[in-house]
Amino acid sequence: MGLHRLTSITVGVPDVAATAAYYTEFGLLPVGPTDEQRARFATRDGGEQLEIVPAPRRRLLRIGVGAHDADDLGRVRSRLLKLDVAVQDVAGGLCALDPNSQLRVEVTIAPEVAQEPAAPMPMNGPGRPDRANRRAPGVERENRVQPRKLGHLVIGSVDQTATRRFFVEGLGFKISDEAPGLASFLRCSTDHHNVLVQQAPLNFLHHTAWELDDIDEVGRGATAMLEGHPERHVWGLGRHHIGSNFFWYLRDPAGNFSEYYSDLDCIVSDALWQPSVVEGARGLYNWGPPPPPSFIQPDDLAGLMTGSHSPTTVR
């Protein structure tokens, strides 16, 4: 496959410093100086993956996708042109604007993510004391969690079908699972999904998701973020049905949701994965507390909709 990863994203927020402080606490690694105009963050394995810049309202401004070589770029370019999407050159690759969501996607030649394998965690089971005479390693950790990489983004689109076409037929993403007309789980790597496009009353960023080693890290990370900040809680702990990942969603000061996750399905061989069509609540989760209404319809959506029609909106 020509594409192999999400590289980095740029998110616009009204208060760069407050949002940057949140992601520092979240466990991302600050890169260079942070000021009112720009903050940059890296993950342990993915390099620089998040840029935060000023915007009147929270908004996803750019998605970066990594390709292997110039041939991959050529294929992406010709597919986009076939869809009548304009393509511009940028350093190391190309950029295109989804005509439906106005989302800017840059595809550049980038190295693959090299991940040090997480140490296998011994777990006891009935008749299987794999961790005999030892406490669980997860309860003995004391460091703050540090995400391994940016795993996926969920975006709302006013025309889910058209934005799906842009990602699949234009950029070359593959379909992992779908809830027809509502949500498409798309991948540009071996992760079950890197971009999820859902039908929404406006184009907006629903959440970013950051990979951790295991469920203990998801629980520990969220618990630390909630200490003294119960207002950050959105939804968790639970396990998704589509993608199988353990999840816990938190809210940043701008209103974007950020997810800690672990144990996402990996699709290493396309031929061995059968995309499914999922209906009803299973599309959302397998177990955990029921999702709050504000997860489905974030509280600031009405304000964002008003703003998106205002002439002061920055694109």
Q: Which residues bind Fe ion (CB under 5 A)?
A: 209, 259
CA within 13 Å, CB half, 210: 31
3-state secondary structure of 207: strand
> Measured between alpha carbons, how far is 73 from 132 in angstroms, rounded to an integer?
52
* Smallest separation (angstroms) from Fe ion to the CB of 93: 26
> Measured between alpha carbons, how far is 155 from 162 in angstroms, rounded to an integer?
13
Count of residues making up the chain: 315
> Measured between alpha carbons, how far is 298 from 64 in angstroms, rounded to an integer?
25
* Smallest separation (angstroms) from Fe ion to the CB of 44: 19
* Smallest separation (angstroms) from Fe ion to the CB of 152: 6
C-beta of residue 198 within 8 angstroms of C-beta of residue 206: yes
Closer Cβ to Fe ion, 53 or 278, answer by number? 278
Closer Cβ to Fe ion, 100 or 198, answer by number? 198
* Smallest separation (angstroms) from Fe ion to the CB of 49: 16
Closer Cβ to Fe ion, 209 or 225, answer by number? 209
The DSSP string of 28-77 is -EEES---SS-EEEEETTTEEEEEEEE-SS-EEEEEEEEESSHHHHHHHH
Closer Cβ to Fe ion, 284 or 304, answer by number? 284
> Measured between alpha carbons, how far is 60 from 63 in angstroms, rounded to an integer?
8
* Segments in the chain forming alpha helices (H): 16-26, 70-82, 137-140, 160-165, 215-226, 293-296, 301-308
Q: Which residues pair with 266 in a beta bridge?
A: 191
> Measured between alpha carbons, how far is 38 from 1 in angstroms, rounded to an integer?
33
> Measured between alpha carbons, how far is 36 from 215 in angstroms, rounded to an integer?
35
Q: Which residue is nearest to Fe ion (CB)?
A: 209
* Smallest separation (angstroms) from Fe ion to the CB of 311: 33
Closer Cβ to Fe ion, 34 or 198, answer by number? 198
Closer Cβ to Fe ion, 213 or 259, answer by number? 259
Closer Cβ to Fe ion, 85 or 278, answer by number? 278
Closer Cβ to Fe ion, 87 or 195, answer by number? 195
> Measured between alpha carbons, how far is 165 from 207 in angstroms, rounded to an integer?
21
* Smallest separation (angstroms) from Fe ion to the CB of 259: 5
Q: Around Cβ 210, how many Cβ atoms within 10 Å? A: 27
* Smallest separation (angstroms) from Fe ion to the CB of 114: 23
Closer Cβ to Fe ion, 252 or 259, answer by number? 259
* Smallest separation (angstroms) from Fe ion to the CB of 82: 30
